[in-house]
Amino acid sequence: MSRLAVAHVDIASLAFNHARLRAMAAPARLMAVIKADGYGHGLERVARALHGADAFGVAAIADGQRLRAAGHRERIVVLSGPDGPDDLSELRRLDLEAVIHHDSQLRWLEAESVGAPLRIWLKVDSGMHRLGFAPGRVTEVHARLSRLPHVHREIVLMTHFAASDEFGKSTTTMQIDAFEAATRGLAGPRSLSNSAGLLGWPRARGDWARAGGLLYGLSVVEGKTGADHGMRPALRLCTRLIAINRVGRGESVGYAGAWTCPEDMPVGIAAIGYGDGYPRSAPSGTPVLLGGREVPLIGRVSMDLTALDLRQAPDAQVGDEVVLWGPELPAERVAAAAGTISYQLTCGLTRRVLFMEA
């Protein structure tokens, strides 16, 4: 028998979010970022829901291989570019586009003598200090790429924001200024905004926006939910109660006796744990839904099981559905309790969770 933990992925919600983000980005085009297996929702499943996207953004060539094998003909951009010189031929074979962010990649391109024109996205480090060429080198690198016959004539100029979710701070303004100065006079479309950039920085709209978290109905701003931004959460994680026990006052629950019953009370055991990807860091008091009512998690999350305080659900029965997060219980609330972000929750679900399309 399969595990009881099930992730329901709502295809209609993915399509709704995509359409809404496209409208927000217009007249810019929208890259749908589906790396990390579609933020844990399933790479091919998400791509199918977003059929006809202006482009897909992935982290690795292997993702492009999967998408092409599934029949997707949309533009696909490998966001970290080639990892070695041999990758260039595979990028061309699959008709993938590459972000170029480092001198090593530039040298591999310059060492080529033949090859069909490869579409390039030139990354500028405007202040994130993770990947990209320093602003003072962008004109030089752009010129070197433009001279190569096996590089497509249209080079997209891009950058990535470090704090675009902090609307009241100057960090993003400084990055926009640095990017504009570095690319002034250079030909090619511009791509600056991620999901938060779309929400809060109209000046950074550019020619291409790149949406990740919001596609899945996940918030990109602390203290907000995806629904607060007009998006629909696309994943609902649930399981079942497999036991209900009466535990006496003063007795402890779970590993290390981390929670003590304040009175005689019913304790439910849900068939889910960190082996399924539910965060072990979720503390006592983290909410779950049982019969439409919130009840708190108690004790330590174990590999396969999680204990629940059922005092507010006295009519609960073995077999009842337990919702860990979803449209009715935002993943952001669970993530905040666990000291993480909603992206990590969805990306962290393991292979023993059964995925179903809703």
Of these residues, 35, 39, 216, 274, which one is catalytic? 35
Closest CA to 38 of 72, 5, 85, 4: 72
Rounded Cα–Cα distance for residues 56 and 75 (Å): 6
Rounded Cα–Cα distance for residues 265 and 259 (Å): 13
Beta strands in the chain (DSSP E): 6-9, 29-33, 55-58, 75-78, 97-100, 118-123, 151-158, 190-191, 208-211, 235-247, 252-253, 259-260, 265-270, 287-290, 293-298, 306-309, 321-325, 354-357
Of these residues, 39, 123, 255, 278, which one is catalytic? 255
Whether 255 is catalytic is yes
List % helix, strand, coil for the chain (3-state, nearest 5). 30, 25, 45
Whether 278 is catalytic is no
Rounded Cα–Cα distance for residues 75 and 19 (Å): 17
Task: Please give the positions annotated as active site.
Answer: 35, 255
